[in-house]
Amino acid sequence: MADLHPNLTALAPLLGAWRGRGAGEYPTITSFGYTEEIEFGHVGKPFLTYRQRTSAIDDGRPLHAEVGYLRVPSPGRLEWVLAHPTGIAEIQEGTLTVTDTTIEIELAATTVGRTTSAKDVEALSRSITVTGDSLTYRVRMAAVGQPLQHHLGATLHRMAP
Question: Which residues belong to the annotated binding site for heme b?
Answer: 28, 119, 151
> From the annotation, which residues make up the binding site?
28, 119, 151
Paired residues of 64 in beta bridges: 54
Q: Do 55 and 47 touch, CB atoms closer than 8 A?
A: no
Query: 110 φ, ψ to 5°?
Result: -90, -20
Q: Do 159 and 16 touch, CB atoms closer than 8 A?
A: yes
Q: Do 152 and 127 touch, CB atoms closer than 8 A?
A: no
Q: Alpha-carbon distance 44 to 65, whole Å? A: 24
Query: 105 φ, ψ to 5°?
Result: -125, 130
